[in-house]
Chain A
Amino acid sequence: MNGSLATPEIVLALCGMGILLFGVLRRGDGGLICSMLTIGALLLAAVLVAGGAFGLAFEGQFLVDPMSVFSKFLILAAAILGVVLSLDYNAREGIGRFEFPVLMLFATLGMMVMVSAGNMMSLYLGIELQSLSIYVLAAFARDDVRSAEAGLKYFVLGALASGLLLYGITLVYGFSGSMDFAAIRQALSDPTRVSEGLIVGVVFVIAGFAFKVAAVPFHMWTPDVYEGAPSPVTAFLGTAPKVAAMVLFLRVMVGPFGHVLMQWQALIEIVSVASMILGALAAIGQSNIKRLMAYSSIGHMGYVLIGLACGNAAGLRGALVYLVVYVFMFLGTFAVILAMRRRGQAVETIADLAGLGRNDPALAMAMAVFMFSMAGIPPLSGFFGKLYVFLAAVQSGLWTLAIIGVLTSVVGAFYYLRIVKVMYFDAAREAFDRRPASLSVVAAATGLFTTFFFIAPAPVLDAAQAAARVLFG
Chain B
Amino acid sequence: MIYAVAVLVPLFGSAVAGLLGRAIGDRAAQAVTILCMIVATICGETAFIQLVWGGAPTGTVRLAEWVSAGSFHVDWALRYDTLSAVMVAMVTFVATLIHIYSIGYMGHEHKPVARFFSYLSLFSFAMLMLVTANNLLQLFFGWEGVGLMSYLLIGYWYERPSACAAAIKAFVVNRIGDLFFAVGIAMVFFLFGSVSFSTIFAAVPQHLNDTYALFGTNYRALEVICILLFIGAMGKSAQIGLHVWLPDAMEGPTPVSALIHAATMVTAGVFLMARISPILEHAPVALGVITVIGASTALFAATIGCVQNDIKRVIAYSTCSQLGYMFIAAGVGAYQVSIFHLVTHAFFKALLFLSAGSVIHAMSDEQDMRRMGGLWKKIPLTYTMMWAGSLALAGIFPFAGYYSKDAILEAAFADGSPVAIYGFVCGVLAAFLTAFYSWRLLLMTFHGRSRADHHVLEHVHESPLVMTGPLIVLAVGALIAGFSLRGLFIGADWHAFWRNSVGVAPGNHILARMEEIPAWAALAPSVLALLGIALAYIMYVAVPTLPAGIAARFAPIYRFLLNKWYFDELYDAVLVRPFFALARLLWQVGDVTIIDGVPNSIAHIAEDSAEQAVKLQTGSIAVYAFSMLIGVVLLITIFLIFR
Contact = CB atoms under 8 A, between A and B. Distances in A.
B619 to A, nearest CB: 6
B624 to A, nearest CB: 4
Interface in A30-52: none
Contact of A266 (B617, B634, B638): B638
B641 to A, nearest CB: 10
A267 interface: yes
A92 B347 CA distance: 90
B624 A284 contact: no
A207 B628 contact: yes
B610 interface: yes
B610 A217 contact: no
A454 interface: no
Contact of A281 (B613, B616, B625, B631): B613
A223 B627 contact: no
Interface string A276-312: 0010111111100000000000000000000000000
B643 A263 contact: yes
B640 interface: yes
A124 interface: no
B235 to A, nearest CB: 45
B636 interface: yes
Nearest to B616: A220
Interface in A50-76: none
A153 B621 contact: yes
A91 interface: no
B635 interface: yes
Interface string B596-617: 0000000000110111011011
B639 interface: yes
Interface stretch (A107-115, A173-181, A197-205, A444-452): A197-205
A153 B621 CA distance: 6
Interface string A174-212: 000000000000000000000010011011101100110
Contacts of A283: 610
B640 A199 contact: yes
A154 to B, nearest CB: 10
Given A153-B621, A263-B639, A218 B610 contact: no
Identify whether the interface residues of B are mostly helix, strand, loop, or mixed.
helix
Nearest to A263: B643
A65 B574 CA distance: 78
A411 interface: yes
Interface in A267-281: 267, 270-271, 278, 280-281
Contacts of A285: 607, 610-611, 614
A192 to B, nearest CB: 14
B53 to A, nearest CB: 65
Nearest to B623: A220
B632 interface: yes
B554 interface: no
A157 interface: yes
A203 B628 contact: no
B67 interface: no
A282 B638 contact: no
Interface residue tally on A, bucketed by range = 35 or more
B292 to A, nearest CB: 59
Nearest to A280: B606
Contacts, number: 85
A470 interface: no
Contact of A220 (B624, B632, B634, B640): B624
A220 B617 CA distance: 7
A218 B624 CA distance: 8
Interface in B185-242: none
A310 B521 CA distance: 91
B594 interface: no
Contacts of A264: 639
A392 interface: no
B624 A221 contact: yes
Contacts of B634: 217
A59 B625 CA distance: 36
A145 interface: no
A156 B632 contact: no
A207 B632 contact: yes
B610 A153 contact: no
A237 interface: no
A207 B631 CA distance: 8
Nearest to B636: A203
Interface in B363-395: none
Contacts of B635: 203, 206-207, 267, 270-271
B595 interface: no
B630 interface: yes
Interface string B318-341: 000000000000000000000000
B642 interface: yes
A218 B634 CA distance: 12
A157 B621 contact: yes
A160 B610 contact: no
B625 to A, nearest CB: 5
A157 B624 contact: yes
Given A160-B625, A220-B624, A278 B613 contact: yes
Interface of A: 153, 156-157, 160-161, 164, 196, 199-200, 202-204, 206-207, 210-211, 216-218, 220-221, 223-224, 263-264, 266-267, 270-271, 278, 280-286, 411, 414
Interface of B: 606-607, 609-611, 613-614, 616-617, 619, 621, 623-625, 627-628, 630-632, 634-636, 638-640, 642-643
Given A153-B621, A217-B630, 13 more contacts: A160-B628, A200-B639, A203-B639, A216-B631, A217-B627, A220-B627, A223-B617, A224-B617, A266-B639, A267-B635, A281-B613, A282-B613, A283-B610
29 contacts: A153-B621, A153-B624, A156-B621, A160-B625, A161-B628, A200-B639, A203-B632, A204-B632, A217-B630, A218-B628, A220-B627, A264-B639, A266-B638, A266-B639, A267-B635, A267-B639, A270-B638, A278-B613, A281-B609, A282-B613, A282-B614, A282-B617, A283-B610, A284-B606, A284-B607, A285-B607, A285-B610, A285-B611, A411-B606
